Chains A and B, each alone.
Chain A
Amino acid sequence: MNKIALITGTRKGIGRAIAEHLLAKGWIVAGCSRRSSDIENPNYHHFCLDVSDEKAAMRMVRQVKKEHGPIYALINNAGTASMNHLLLTPAETCRSIFNTNVLGGFIFMRECAKQMTRQKCGRIINISSVAHPLNLEGEAIYASSKAAIESLTRIAAKELGPHGITVNAIGPTPIDTDLIRTVPQEVIDALVQRQAIPRLGTTEDVTNCIDFFLQEESAFISGQTLYLGGIS
């Protein structure tokens, strides 16, 4: 039987790449984003919602189970960023980033984990960023939201581990997606030079980590954040 994955933020970028990767491997994928998706695959099911809308998220998680069966993997990918100096960052920007990156991630973790605990198995993967360990200037709010997600990952790993659920995070380097399109090239170049392997990341680098955390042999790996590009 096909395993079921729920991935947030699948309309474009890393989320879309992960969705297409798992669909190619025969998974059933439920994805979501604020706007509609053009992923065409009979095993792909899209939901238009804001990940921080608790009721909408809950309805999605329940509907996926009702129509396809219990969710085995949750990939919390939906994220937003805004590059700005701390002194010029509006409070509303902070609220919006934390709503999507932290609150949204938390709500999906909680709702999916309710199903997973009854199945006594499940994998949760949160997408973080190297912005947190690098303490990137100009990304104070985004990096802080990713620090929160990593903390949530470690604590959830402890609380959910006894129920057969692993919780891990992946910290990609900059990848050529819309998320970094507005960041000046010299900033990206400087950031890449801080990596042990100085190049932009690719979506394949991320899907490789996804495969690692999802494989059966990774059942004993939890509470970890895997940074790409040699960042530690």
Chain B
Amino acid sequence: MPPNRTEISKIILQTLHELGEDLEKPELQTADESTRLFGARSELDSMNLVNFIADVEERISDEFEIDLILANQSAMSRSHSPFRRVSSCIDYVMELIAAESDAT
């Protein structure tokens, strides 16, 4: 049974909250779905975003045994990055999971 949106949201927010603790950034520790991940108003620099993406990939793999590559061609070629906000990131992960389920 593939994970639902609530489960993915929980993983992504938990990852972000923990990253906020590591980086001592209160805005990330209280992040919600409207929090910006990418761009000038984000609390994450490019390397933190890379680490965040790697953590999310790993957690999804650990919890649901689904191996996703978030930074793939489809993400990079979109006019609006799926990593601009937490909500768009969750939607994007759900898309990838649906595509993965269709493929198997």
Q: Which residues of A contact B (CB under 8 A)?
A: 54-55, 58-59, 62, 65-66, 114-115, 117-118, 162-163
Contacts and interface: CB of A to CB of B under 8 A. Distances in A.
Contacts, number: 27
Given A54-B69, A59-B67, A62-B67, A117 B47 contact: yes
B61 A118 contact: no
A154 to B, nearest CB: 19
Contacts of B67: 55, 58-59, 62
B62 A118 contact: no
Contacts of A115: 54
22 contacts: A54-B69, A55-B67, A55-B69, A58-B67, A58-B69, A59-B67, A62-B58, A62-B61, A62-B62, A62-B67, A65-B58, A66-B62, A114-B50, A114-B51, A114-B57, A114-B58, A115-B54, A117-B47, A118-B54, A118-B55, A162-B47, A163-B47
Interface in B6-59: 47, 50-51, 54-55, 57-58
Nearest to A62: B61
Main secondary structure on B side of the interface with A: helix
A118 B51 contact: yes
B18 to A, nearest CB: 11
A117 B51 contact: yes
Interface in B50-104: 50-51, 54-55, 57-58, 61-62, 67, 69
B21 to A, nearest CB: 14
Contacts of B47: 117, 162-163
Interface of B: 47, 50-51, 54-55, 57-58, 61-62, 67, 69
A65 B61 CA distance: 12
A66 B62 CA distance: 8
A110 B58 CA distance: 14
Contacts of A163: 47
What 9 pairs between A and B have smallest CB-CB spacing? A114-B54, A62-B61, A59-B67, A58-B67, A55-B67, A117-B51, A118-B51, A62-B58, A58-B69
A18 B18 CA distance: 38
A159 to B, nearest CB: 9
A117 B53 CA distance: 12
A163 B45 CA distance: 14
B76 to A, nearest CB: 14
A212 to B, nearest CB: 28
Given A55-B67, A58-B67, 13 more contacts: A54-B69, A62-B61, A62-B62, A66-B62, A114-B51, A114-B54, A114-B57, A114-B58, A115-B54, A117-B47, A117-B50, A117-B54, A163-B47
Contacts of B55: 118
Contacts of A62: 58, 61-62, 67
Contacts of B62: 62, 66
Contacts of A58: 67, 69
